[in-house]
Structure 1
Amino acid sequence: ENNSLLHTLDVEHYNGYINVYVLTLWIHYLVGPWLQESMQRTLFSPRNRRCPSCK
């Protein structure tokens, strides 16, 4: 019984890691472009430098 219990815990841990990994991927996928854009806006802000894409 102990072995099966350990096995279930292992599987739950593994699933948890997969969930965290997928969640991190999703966050990176969703937030990545926005983060890059906001960083570019900060670096090339219209006050410092005029660029056609900046508004």
Structure 2
Amino acid sequence: MASNRQLSDECTAHLEQALAETDPEEKDFHVRQVLQACGVDHLPEETNNE
């Protein structure tokens, strides 16, 4: 499903840092930051909890 959402500057910066890192743990850290900061902030108003 296509989405028109834009990532925040903070999320974009973390993803760029993840791409630049050579240490897998540091890469994981930055990706987790994006999932935590951006994933939760953009949940739909209504969810189907069936």
Bin the TM-score by the shorter chain: 0.3 to 0.5
TM-score (norm 2): 0.41
Q: Which structure would you say has the larger RCO, counting Cα contacts within 8 Å and 6 or more residues apart?
A: 2
Instruction: Please tell me whether Structure 1 or Structure 2 has the larger radius of gyration of its CA atoms.
Output: 1
Question: Structure 1 or 2: larger helix share?
Answer: 1
